[in-house]
Structure 1
Amino acid sequence: MMTHDVIVAGERLTLHVQRAIHWAARRTVLVSDVHFGKGAVFRRAGIAVPSGDTEDDLARLDDLIREFAPERLVVLGDLVHGAATERSDWVERVRAWRRSHPHLDVLLIAGNHDRHFDVRSLGIEVVPDRLDVAPFVLSHHPSPHAGAYTLAGHVHPGVVVRDGWRRHRLPAFVFDHDVGMLPAFGTLTGLFEIAAAPGRKIVAVTPAGLVPVGSQGHRR
């Protein structure tokens, strides 16, 4: 399945195989850890990685916008990966993408990597720490907040799924009692393995679709 609905803090959220969440009640799409420009940073350091990661990630954002027609796109931190200049190819490409969606509200909750570049120069609004949109706190770091459910990124959560003798490391959505984490959206991002735990819901992102693999315990 390409989408999977979960109830979190009394709200229905649609998880998408493109590593995004659609919150229909607020006409909002959430993604995290896009890391635009990471490939360029690697190549400047002499690490051979293929180009085209920015184009791929922008195309995936366009697919989500076409599918859900949101009013708002919220990035839960680390939209960019590192320092860049006006001559960086990805900078103008992201600016052009932003201009192509003039009626879409695009907002970044600043993450630790975003300090290296002025994201406002891309035409994107920036909130420095968190955004309170009841019943959620939207943030980069997955810290609990009293009286609200946190939706965050930063960790790049993943899970190990075994298929017979084969072992697959896959991005995953993770929902605990008071904090939920999105998988990293960016193409060139790693994984931090999250173990199953009582009451924890894990939904793995596989090439064939979304697969719930964790506990189906009670959600707030």
Structure 2
Amino acid sequence: MMTHDIEVAGERLTLHAQRAIHWAARRTLLVSDVHFGKGAVFRRAGIAVPSGDTEDDLARLDALIAEFAPARLVVLGDLVHGAATERSGWVEKVRTWRESHAEVAMDLIAGNHDRHFDVATLGIDVRPDHVFAPPFVFAHHPSPHKGGYTLAGHVHPGVTVRDGWRRHRLPAFVFDRDVAMLPAFGTLTGLHEIVPESGRRIVATTPAGLVPVRQRGRV
């Protein structure tokens, strides 16, 4: 299954295997940790990674927008990865992409990496720290807020799933009592292992669909 509905704070959220959440009641699409330009940063440092990560991520966003027709896209921090200039190849690609979706409002909850580039020049509104959207709080850092249930990123959560003798490390959605963490959306992002435990809901993502994970890593 490419989508999976889950109830959080009394609201129905649709998880998508492309590492996004759609909140239908508010026509809001949520992603986190896109890290545009990360491949370019690696290549400048002499690390051999393939190009095309920006195009791949933009194509995935295009597909999600086509599927859900959101009125608003919210990025929960770290839209960009590092310093860039107007001559950086990814900047013009993202700006052109933004213009092609002028009908969709786009907000960035500023993350720790976003200080390296003025995201507002891309046509995306930047919100510092967190935004209240009752019953939720949109944030980058996964900290509880008195104003609502936190939907956040930053951690790049992942989980190990066993398939017989094989082990797979997969990006995952993680839902705790007061805070949820979205998997990193960007193609070139690592994982931080999350341990299944009592009361924690985890849904792993694969290119073929979503995998709810039971306690102790069993599926």
TM-score computed with the length of structure 1 as normaliser: 0.97
2:86 pairs with 1:94: no
Structure 2 residue runs of 5 or longer lacking an equivalent are: none
Secondary structure of 1:93 counterpart: helix
Gap change, CA 1:214 and 1:147, over 3 Å in 2: farther
Q: In the TM superposition, what whole-angstrom CA distance separates every residue of 1:187-217 from its partner, at most 9, and x where no partner exists?
A: 00000000011110000002321010035xx
Extract unaligned runs of 5+ from structure 1.
216-220
Q: Structure 1 segments of 4 or more deviating over 3 A? A: none
1:38-72 CA-partner distances (Å, limit 9, x unpaired):
00000000000000000000000000000000000
Is 1:42 the counterpart of 2:46 in the alignment?
A: no
CA distance in 2, matches of 1:93, 1:122: 10
- Mapping for residues 168-179 of structure 1, pairs under 5 Å: 168-179=168-179
By how many angstroms is 1:147 displaced?
4.2
CA contact (8 A) 2:132 2:147 kept: no
Q: Which amino acid aligns with 1:92?
A: E
Moved more, 140-149 or 6-15: 140-149
Corresponding residue SS for 1:57: helix
Is the contact between residue 200 and residue 214 of structure 1 (CA under 8 Å) also seen in structure 2?
Answer: no
Secondary structure of the 1:83 match is: coil
Measure, in 1, the Cα distance between the counterparts of 2:99 and 2:207.
31
**Cα RMSD, aligned residues only:** 0.7
State whether residues 111 and 140 of structure 1, in contact with CA within 8 Å, keep that contact through their aligned partners in structure 2: yes
| Aligned position for 1:218 | none
Report the Cα distance in structure 2 between the residues aligned to 1:207 and 1:81, rounded to whole angstroms: 23
Report what 1:83 is aligned to.
83
1:81 is displaced (CA, Å) by 0.1
Map 1:88-167 → 2, pairs under 5 A: 88-167=88-167
Secondary structure of the equivalent of 1:199? coil
Aligned length: 215
CA contact (8 A) 2:137 2:147 kept: no
TM-score when normalising by structure 2: 0.97
Code of the aligned partner of 1:154: H
Report the Cα distance in structure 1 between the residues aligned to 2:140 and 2:98, rounded to whole angstroms: 21
Identity %: 80
CA distance in 1, matches of 2:214, 2:104: 34
2: CA distance, partners of 1:211 / 1:39:
28
Residues of 1 paired with 2:115 and 2:214: CA distance? Answer: 34
Distance in 1 between the 2:120 and 2:205 partners? 31
Letter in 2 for 1:135: P
